[in-house]
């Protein structure tokens, strides 16, 4: 991996391919695979990741909002794209770019039917979302007759899938609850199929679900965080490779005397002489203030350098007293040797948060393999 001269998120597409192939190996050959690329592909690069997944043979992509799907279409992505949380105000764009909505309520169903009719669409693909216990979005069993009545003889749309979402698929202590969700979804999807003249495909498993509940893979599975190298379980992480490495450089080194302070609000005060290094990365780049005051750390020349004082908007200062380093040397925030999960844990949060927090202003670079 080449040295960087500025704060850079290095993306390893060979790691993405490895993760995709591993997750594929956990499901039946005929089961479809949906790659989740919402939130700028978990903070990496949505277009680059989508193109690679398309090349690898993924069957579907998923985004959270219509605007994300529009960016993919404008970049030339041809795969079917599921919009997980469409809003009625974006239905015109959704249809123009041939994105597929997850319909989760009577209100959204009626508004989409109206838009599809006005735009003279026929057999437009939609997905029906059931709530089986996450209590976030989704229809209930009481809505099935209504869904069938509204859609069965309506030529504007066709239901291509029924879906739901596990609430705690990575938690072995919640196995009973997850099995109850799976049973509920199977019951709901079967009842929907009985009301229709055709059988939509079904999908409910996320990354942890793929690993822990393969019997519930139905016709398709969805993976997000696993594609990027994290499996929510140490035994799964061992099979995956982090795609993103966040690197920066030392801008300046200071000698700090006893009783001197470092950073805003004098949040760090030295009780001994030390050496600090200033790095051009801060909370505007995704390193939140919760990582300050010695909680978070970077790695410089294979040694741990704790963050001193408060994280600034564009900079952090780290303790390099015992590190042989100079201005221009690299600092690793997270990557294969120090995962985003481990970095996030220093502030009592999860890999998803630090990955998706990485600012768009941070340079993206593809690793030269």
Catalytic residues: 38, 264
Sign of CA dihedral 356, 358, 361, 363: negative
Q: Take residue 44 and report the two structure tokens written for it.
A: 């990496």
Q: Which two tokens stand for residue 326?
A: 């100079």
CA 117, 119, 123, 125 torsion: positive or negative?
A: negative
Q: What is the DSSP string of 73-112?
A: HHTT--S-EEESS--GGGHHHHHHTT-EEEE-SHHHHHHH
- Identify which of 3, 14, 16 has the alpha carbon closest to the alpha carbon of residue 229: 16
CB atoms within 10 A of CB 158: 15
State CA 109 to chain mean position distance: 26
Write phi, then psi, for 57 (nearest 5 degrees): 105, 15
Which helix (H) or strand (E) element contains residue 189?
Answer: helix 175-195
Half-sphere exposure of 366 (CA within 13 A, CB side): 11
Cα angle 27-204-341, degrees, rounded to a multiple of 5: 80
Which residue, among 74, 55, 181, has the nearest Cα to 130 in the 3D structure? 181
Strand 274-279 with 268-269, pairing: unpaired
CB of 166 within 8 A of CB of 204? yes
CA distance 38 to 61: 9
């Amino acid at each position: 991996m080449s040295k960087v001269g500025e704060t850079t998120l290095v993306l390893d597409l060979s790691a993405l391919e490895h993760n995709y192939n591993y997750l594929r190996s956990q499901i039946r050959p005929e089961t479809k695979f949906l790659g989740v690329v919402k939130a700028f592909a978990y903070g990496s690069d949505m277009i680059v990741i989508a193109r690679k997944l398309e090349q690898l043979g993924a069957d579907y992509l998923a985004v959270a909002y219509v605007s994300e799907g529009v960016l993919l279409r404008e970049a030339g992505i041809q795969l079917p794209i599921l919009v997980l949380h469409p809003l009625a105000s974006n239905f015109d764009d959704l249809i123009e770019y041939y994105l597929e909505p997850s319909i989760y309520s009577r209100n959204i169903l009626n508004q989409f039917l109206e838009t599809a009719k006005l735009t003279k669409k026929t057999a437009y693909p939609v997905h029906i979302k059931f709530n089986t216990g996450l209590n976030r979005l989704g229809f209930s069993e009481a809505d099935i007759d209504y869904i069938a009545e509204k859609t069965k003889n309506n030529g504007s749309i066709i239901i291509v899938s029924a879906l739901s979402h596990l609430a705690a698929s990575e938690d072995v202590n919640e196995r009973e609850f997850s099995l109850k969700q799976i049973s509920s979804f199977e019951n709901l999807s079967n009842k929907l199929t009985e009301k229709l003249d055709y059988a939509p495909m079904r999908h409910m498993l996320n990354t942890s679900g793929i690993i822990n509940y393969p019997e519930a893979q139905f016709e398709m599975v969805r993976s997000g965080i696993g594609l990027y190298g994290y499996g929510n379980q140490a035994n799964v992480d061992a099979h995956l490779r982090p795609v993103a490495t966040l690197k920066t450089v030392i801008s300046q080194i200071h000698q700090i005397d006893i009783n001197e302070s470092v950073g805003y609000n004098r949040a760090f005060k030295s009780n001994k002489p030390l050496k600090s290094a200033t790095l051009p990365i801060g909370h505007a780049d995704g390193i939140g203030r919760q990582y300050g005051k010695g909680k978070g750390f970077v790695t410089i020349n294979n040694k741990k350098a704790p963050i001193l004082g408060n994280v600034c908007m564009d900079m952090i200062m780290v303790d390099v007293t015992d590190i042989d380093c100079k201005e221009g040397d690299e600092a690793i925030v997270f990557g294969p040797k120090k995962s985003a999960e481990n970095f996030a844990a220093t502030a009592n949060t999860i890999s998803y948060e630090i990955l998706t927090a990485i600012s768009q202003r941070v340079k993206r670079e593809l690793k030269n393999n």
